[in-house]
Structure 1
Amino acid sequence: MGRRKEKIPPPGTNKDPTTNFYSRKKWRMVFLSNVLELQGKKLIPRGMQIIGNALMKNRHVVKLELAHNDIGDAGAITLAELLRRNDTIQHLNLAQNKVTDVGGIALASAFIPNVSPNGQAGLWNRTLFTLVLSGNEMGDATLLAISKAAACHRDLMRVDLSWNKIGPLGTKCLGRSMQRNPNCTYILIGNQIGDEGTEHLCEALKRYSGKGTSSLNLLRNDVRYRGAKAVGRLIENNEYILDVSLHSNTLGLRGMQEIRHHLTSAPNRLRSLNLSNCMLGDSGAEELALLIDADLPTLERLSASDNDLTDIGGVAIVKALMTNNSLVAVNCSGNSFGAETVELTMKLVEKAKVLKQLDFTNSIESSDMRRTLAFAASDADGLSIDVGEMQEDTYEGTVQRITEHMQLTLDAEAERAKSRKGKKRGKKAAST
């Protein structure tokens, strides 16, 4: 005799610690809602199996939130089977669940047409729009499988694979996937796709992406100057990309030169550019100043924070801002500017017409300079300058100001005492 198949209980039974945070009555109620929020419930694979089984024939839940549940690969395999059978769920969030490529490939397989052993058409998902897999342990194999799945399931609109372990190999199939499904957006923040992966991604976007792709965010992806060159080529003559972030990469001077060259040599519609923490240095800041000086008509927001800039870079940027008529907000926080930058910024305050916000937080060490700049900006009509907390003074500076204040108080008291003494002498002389 074969082993009897284990009967999966309904969620909420007293003996099941993974789902008894709700009673069985409460579970019946939550299964009737459009959104099922189960974030951080410690479901683990067993709880996922119980809930997945209960959702197989559910026709109410459209959005399923399962982040922070440690379901692992076993739970992902359960969800893959659920996706094959459930045609109501449209949005699935599996962020931070310790899923590896094993679970990632299983999930991708739920969208690929297949044939059952008896020769009939199998089951696959045709209704999911959004799949969030951020903060897991997935690599190239998952992105390859997901890109193939997106080519089959053309209603899949958004795949979030940020903060995983995807390298350059995973991006190689994106061209074919975007050719078949140009409206699907891949979010790859916080991976390791590097220059090679950036080149593959940008080539696919350049050839096949459509109006649905309005931003490119490659934060913390080991992008260097070759990757910056690929991004620059993508932006050239592009009508859809509006926002680009290369935050926390290693562009350096050469990368900044590539970005500046491509943005100024051909038309684009770029609205915001984030180059924070890209190791630009003062040489890169001078290239950035040339970009600002080019006065791109659509570029409104620019960030160059945390780039080891000194007065040399600060002066170059502020000088360029003097003649720019497009930028509305500029972020230069986390650098090291001195008197020359502050003095020039005072002149900028008087001349600025379009620029509305300039962020110098943690960029000016001198408390006196911060006060001077903040006071000047407070009198300006349009431009607001953020210099950070005014209380962050050194111990020596605080002691010096207290001493100066006490000395002024003592001098004033001495002057008043002298005045009173003079008046008394005058009265005595009058009486005699």
Structure 2
Amino acid sequence: NTKLRNLSLTNNKLRAAGITAMSDGLQRNTALRVLDVSGNSINAEGGLAIAELLRANDAIEHLNAARNYLSDAIPRIGHALSTRSRQMRLLDLSSNRIDGPICRQLAQILEGNRITVACLSLEDNDLGDAGMVPLYHAVKGTNTQFLDLSATGLTHRSGVVVADLMTSCPILNSLQLDGNNLGDDAGVEIASGYGQSQGLTAINLERCGIGSRTVAALCDAFAKHR
């Protein structure tokens, strides 16, 4: 079928067997642009099938694989992206049990191959401060426009790194940080980063433990963007 452009299978029970069969069937569909397999109990074995699909069919620009169990397959998905002639516009890997070491592997692949993902979501994964550092190096200087790091286990230690990211991504316009225990120390750094940023139009700092110091720093940053 060369006419199917958008396929949504969210919240089903594909699991590894289903995604493997589907991957085989879609590899030659060069019209497919958007694939949503979120919430399908897909494990790392199924993640390998997703990686193979991305490698074989670089027409796909949007992949939502959130709320699965891809975990150890994430680096293979990263390697698949490195073989493509077309960059991904959206890659949603939220809630996939990605920890700091796995994030580091993915980030090193992205950085080493100069891969840009326009919209990257890693929400609700335990990246931690250790995962944030390599991710920063992977994203800085790229054309990433949207980055979701909500509930990723970041603390005050990531404040400087996040601030540097805000100033080193020239067209980043949305940064989601809600649900991280950043506190005022990181909040002040992030506010400073916003003050020096170029295109940020949306920052989410809900449930981040920030207080009056961050608010004051944000007010100073707002003044710089008048």
Question: Partner of 2:201 in structure 1?
Answer: 242
Question: Partner of 2:151 in structure 1?
Answer: 190
Q: Note the 1:65-80 alignment, pairs <5 A.
A: 65-80=36-51
Where does structure 1 lack aligned partners over 5 or more consecutive residues?
Answer: 1-27, 113-123, 270-297, 299-432
| Residue 228 of structure 1 pairs with residue 187 of structure 2 | yes
Deviations, residues 221-270 of structure 1 (Å, cap 9, x unaligned): 11112111211211224342233221112224xxx22430453277333x
For the 8 Å contact 1:174–1:201, the answer to whether it is kept is no
For the 8 Å contact 1:154–1:180, the answer to whether it is kept is no
Q: Cα gap change, 1:62/1:199 in structure 2, threshold over 3 Å: closer, same or farther?
A: same
Question: Partner of 1:42 in structure 2?
Answer: 13
CA distance in 2, matches of 1:61, 1:265: 42
DSSP 3-state at the match of 1:136: coil
Question: Partner of 2:223 in structure 1?
Answer: 267
Deviations, residues 83-132 of structure 1 (Å, cap 9, x unaligned): 111121111110111222x02222112123xxxxxxxxxxx123222111
Q: Choose from 39, 63, 73 the match for 1:103.
A: 73
For the 8 Å contact 1:63–1:90, the answer to whether it is kept is yes
Q: Which has the higher contact order (CA 8 A, sep 6+)?
A: 2
DSSP 3-state at the match of 1:221: coil
For the 8 Å contact 1:168–1:198, the answer to whether it is kept is no
CA distance in 1, matches of 2:202, 2:142: 21
Bigger-Rg structure (1/2): 1
CA distance in 1, matches of 2:106, 2:224: 31
DSSP 3-state at the match of 1:131: strand
Q: Cα gap change, 1:166/1:174 in structure 2, threshold over 3 Å: closer, same or farther?
A: closer
Letter in 2 for 1:137: R
Deviations, residues 18-45 of structure 1 (Å, cap 9, x unaligned): xxxxxxxxxx6xx731001111221110
CA distance in 2, matches of 1:201, 1:48: 35
Question: Which structure 1 residue ranges, 4+ long, deviate > 4 Å from structure 2?
Answer: none
Letter in 1 for 2:215: I
Question: Partner of 2:105 in structure 1?
Answer: 145
Q: Cα gap change, 1:177/1:52 in structure 2, threshold over 3 Å: closer, same or farther?
A: same
Deviations, residues 162-197 of structure 1 (Å, cap 9, x unaligned): 111110011112343234524353211122111122
For the 8 Å contact 1:166–1:192, the answer to whether it is kept is yes
Q: Cα gap change, 1:236/1:243 in structure 2, threshold over 3 Å: closer, same or farther?
A: same
Question: Partner of 1:199 in structure 2?
Answer: 160
Once the two structures are TM-superposed, the CA of residue 148 in structure 1 deviates from its matched residue by: 3.0
DSSP 3-state at the match of 2:147: strand
Identity of aligned residues (%): 18
CA distance in 1, matches of 2:134, 2:116: 18
For the 8 Å contact 2:166–2:197, the answer to whether it is kept is no
For the 8 Å contact 1:217–1:244, the answer to whether it is kept is yes
Once the two structures are TM-superposed, the CA of residue 153 in structure 1 deviates from its matched residue by: 4.7
CA distance in 2, matches of 1:131, 1:173: 18
Q: Cα gap change, 1:125/1:266 in structure 2, threshold over 3 Å: closer, same or farther?
A: same
Tell me how large the CA RMSD over aligned residues is: 2.2
Where does structure 2 lack aligned partners over 5 or more consecutive residues?
Answer: none
For the 8 Å contact 1:174–1:200, the answer to whether it is kept is no
CA distance in 2, matches of 1:173, 1:196: 14
Question: Partner of 2:29 in structure 1?
Answer: 58
Q: Cα gap change, 1:237/1:59 in structure 2, threshold over 3 Å: closer, same or farther?
A: closer
CA distance in 2, matches of 1:155, 1:172: 17
For the 8 Å contact 1:150–1:181, the answer to whether it is kept is no
Question: Partner of 1:134 in structure 2?
Answer: 94
Task: Give TM-score, length-normalised by structure 2.
Answer: 0.88
Q: Cα gap change, 1:55/1:245 in structure 2, threshold over 3 Å: closer, same or farther?
A: same
Q: Note the 1:333-344 alignment, pairs <5 A.
A: none
Task: Give TM-score, length-normalised by structure 1.
Answer: 0.48
For the 8 Å contact 1:126–1:155, the answer to whether it is kept is no
Q: Choose from 171, 185, 201 the match for 2:132.
A: 171
